[in-house]
Amino acid sequence: MLTGDPPGERHWQLAAHDDRCNICHRPLRGARFYYEDADEAPAPRRGWTLCGDCSDAVAAQLGGLAAGAPLRLRVALGVVAAERALPEAERVAVGRSSERRFNTALIATVWAAFIVHAAAFVAIVVVIAHHH
C-alpha cells in the first residue's frame, strides 16, 4: 500500500482478488490499484480494483472534486466508468462470440460422433451380410 494516501483514496497492491478492472473489465496485468470508500461514505461501503489507466483517470477526476466530500470517490469512479467502460453491447458481443465458438465446437463434435457411429453401423451390416 502506498503510504501517505488519504483514507478512501488509491492504494497500490500487487496481489488482489479481482482478475479484471472494475471499470473497463480488461484483465489486470501487473500493478493493480485498489480504491475504497471513505469511512464517512454512506453504506454500503465498498472497494474497487482498477488497472493503471483507469486508476490514473480516477486520480485525475479526484483532483477536480472537493476534498473531504464523502461521495467524491464514487463520483470520480462514475465519471471515469461512463467514459471508459466497454459499452454493454460490446461486452455482450464478446460473450456471444465465445458462446458461438463453443456451440460450433459442440455441433462439430456431435456430427463427428454421428458419422463415426453411422460408419460403424454400416460396417457391421456389411460384415453380417457377407457372412449370410
The separation between the first and the last C-alpha atoms of the chain, rounded to the nearest angstrom, is 83
Cα 60 from Cα 65, distance rounded (Å): 9
**pLDDT, tens only, 88-127:** 655 555 556 778 888 899 999 999 999 999 999 999 999 9
What is residue 63's predicted lDDT score, i.e. its pLDDT?
83
Taking 50 as the threshold, does the pLDDT of residue 7 lie above it? Answer: no
96 versus 17: the higher-pLDDT residue is 96
CA dihedral 70, 76, 82, 85 (to 10 degrees): -110
What is residue 132's predicted lDDT score, i.e. its pLDDT?
74
Extents of the domains making up the chain: 10-84, 87-132
Report field, pTM of the whole predicted structure over 0.85: no
Cα 93 from Cα 78, distance rounded (Å): 23
Mean pLDDT is highest, among 4-8, 26-30, 56-60, 80-84, for 56-60
**pLDDT, tens only, 51-87:** 988 999 999 988 877 677 778 888 888 888 888 766 6
